């Protein structure tokens, strides 16, 4: 079934050739020939990731509208990241019809592929990607999305997944990478919060603060990750690592809103905490996106050490635009948030000091200035 899904998407996919990263820097992704023999342009490759090299500087980001200003990518390139984590809503290509060829999503990817600032980042740094709803193809979409198989095939093709990548052999786009030498190992875990997710519970008061669109649903039958991904995550968390970055496209710790977040499935969120604890997974930090704003969060009561989360969103579609247009001044109240929210365009930077065993996590404005930050001693994450 996987090979069929890949064939459907790849045979119709046409990307701009100018968007391809330099061949010597690109990941090995095999043939770019469609099954019917037609030649298609190469997917969006990125610089080769050296799994043996210890990381000290990582950029994380989400939510980029392909038709909006792309200049923030040049600022990201200036950060000289050793790795970029692109955490979802990488394009906005919601599919408006039942057309299995996904014309809207393909057009969105093609537009992104034409971005020269984005191409410069890909040429300079390895990039790991996961999706959220708008590059999945359905706003707030979950496991009931009818075109999810076609969307996954397109995702795998567009982001140049190698032919032997385990993600090609299973449903969903979740993945894990262990990077660096012993004593400086960074484990990247990217969750798929879309492909398997149960339907959400609609709010009883649309737009009301704290329950804007969805309500918490205690139904024990509801799932966020699906059985197979839960089992995989438990195994991944048991692997030794000196720093773990758990990427969830939607927020984990946030309590202050009724948009998509793990709080909508409280039993599943508790399962996440329990899975971390049972695995003895120390040195873990959560990264998330989706919100079109940025913030830092911490809760010291859910696992065996303070759980920290950094949310970075959006690269070029920030909430500040909508707030200015509507005159909105309210800021959601959240007991887990550290300090203010940041509503302008932003990205995140992780700086690892292996000598001092410390991690600095910061949210950066479009000009590169740090607007939110926290330094975490690794000794406190166990």
327-344 pLDDT tens trace: 999 999 999 999 999 999
Nearest CA among 286, 309, 182, 303 for reference residue 240: 182
Please tell me the predicted confidence (pLDDT) of residue 34.
31
How many other CB atoms are found less than 10 A from the CB of residue 270?
12
Range of the domain at 316: 2-19+30-380
Report how far residue 333's alpha carbon sits from residue 330's, in angstroms, rounded to the nearest whole number: 9
**Is 353 inside any structural domain?**
yes
182-226 pLDDT tens trace: 999 999 999 999 999 999 999 999 999 999 999 999 999 999 999
Contacts of 240 (CB under 8 A, 6+ apart): 185
pLDDT at 360 over 70: yes
Confidence of residue 42 (pLDDT cuts 50, 70, 90): low
pLDDT at 77 over 80: yes
Element (H, E) at 96: none
Report how far residue 262's alpha carbon sits from residue 251's, in angstroms, rounded to the nearest whole number: 6
* 100 bridge partner residues: none
131-187 pLDDT tens trace: 999 999 999 999 999 999 999 999 999 999 999 999 999 999 999 999 999 999 999
CB 306 within 8 A of CB 377: no
Task: Provide the number of structural domains found in the chain.
Answer: 1
Report how far residue 185's alpha carbon sits from residue 258's, in angstroms, rounded to the nearest whole number: 36
Residue 207 Rama label (left phi>0; alpha psi -120 to 50; beta): left
Report how far residue 12's alpha carbon sits from residue 154's, in angstroms, rounded to the nearest whole number: 9
pTM for this one?
Answer: 0.92
Rounded mean pLDDT, 266-292: 99
325: domain CATH number?
3.60.21.70
Q: Which 8-state DSSP code applies to residue 206? A: T
The pLDDT mean for the chain works out to 91
79-105 pLDDT tens trace: 999 999 999 999 999 999 899 999 999
Confidence of residue 27 (pLDDT cuts 50, 70, 90): very low
**Is 24 inside any structural domain?**
no
Taking CA 328 as the corner, what is the angle to CA 323 and CA 333, rounded to the nearest 5 degrees?
105
How many other CB atoms are found less than 10 A from the CB of residue 140?
18
């Amino acid at each position: 079934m996987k090979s069929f899904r890949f064939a459907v998407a790849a045979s119709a996919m046409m990307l701009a050739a100018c968007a391809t990263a330099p061949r010597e820097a690109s990941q090995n992704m095999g043939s770019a020939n469609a099954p019917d023999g037609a030649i298609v342009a190469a997917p969006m490759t990125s610089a080769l990731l050296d799994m043996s090299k210890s990381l000290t500087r990582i950029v994380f980001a989400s939510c980029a509208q392909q038709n909006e200003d792309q200049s923030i990518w040049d600022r990201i390139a200036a950060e000289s990241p050793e790795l970029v984590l692109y955490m979802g809503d990488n394009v906005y290509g919601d599919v408006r019809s039942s057309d299995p060829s996904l014309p809207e999503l393909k057009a969105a990817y093609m537009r992104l592929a034409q971005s020269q600032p984005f191409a410069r980042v890909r040429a300079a740094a390895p990039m790991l990607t996961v999706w959220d709803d708008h590059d999945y193809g359905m706003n707030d979409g979950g496991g009931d999305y009818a075109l999810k198989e076609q969307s996954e095939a397109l995702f795998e093709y567009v982001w140049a997944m190698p032919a032997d990548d385990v993600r090609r052999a299973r449903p969903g786009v979740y993945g894990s990478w262990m990077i660096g030498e012993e004593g400086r190992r960074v484990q990247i875990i990217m969750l798929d919060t879309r492909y398997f997710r149960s339907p959400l519970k609609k709010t009883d008061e649309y737009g009301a603060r704290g329950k804007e669109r969805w309500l918490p649903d205690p139904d024990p039958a509801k799932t966020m990750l699906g059985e197979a991904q839960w089992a995989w995550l438990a195994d991944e968390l048991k692997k030794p690592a000196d720093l773990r970055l758990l990427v969830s496209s939607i927020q984990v710790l946030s309590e202050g809103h009724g948009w998509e977040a793990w709080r909508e499935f409280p039993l599943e969120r508790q399962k996440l905490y329990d899975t971390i604890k049972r695995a003895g997974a120390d040195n873990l930090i959560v990264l998330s996106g989706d919100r079109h704003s940025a913030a830092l969060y911490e809760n010291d009561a859910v696992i065996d050490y303070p759980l920290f989360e950094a949310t970075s969103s959006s690269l070029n579609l920030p909430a500040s635009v909508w707030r200015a247009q509507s005159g909105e001044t309210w800021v959601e109240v959240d007991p887990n948030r550290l300090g203010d929210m940041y509503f302008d365009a932003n990205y995140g930077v992780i700086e690892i000091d292996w000598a001092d065993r410390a991690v600095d996590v910061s949210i950066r404005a479009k000009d590169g200035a740090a607007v939110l930050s926290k330094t975490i001693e690794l000794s406190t994450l166990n």
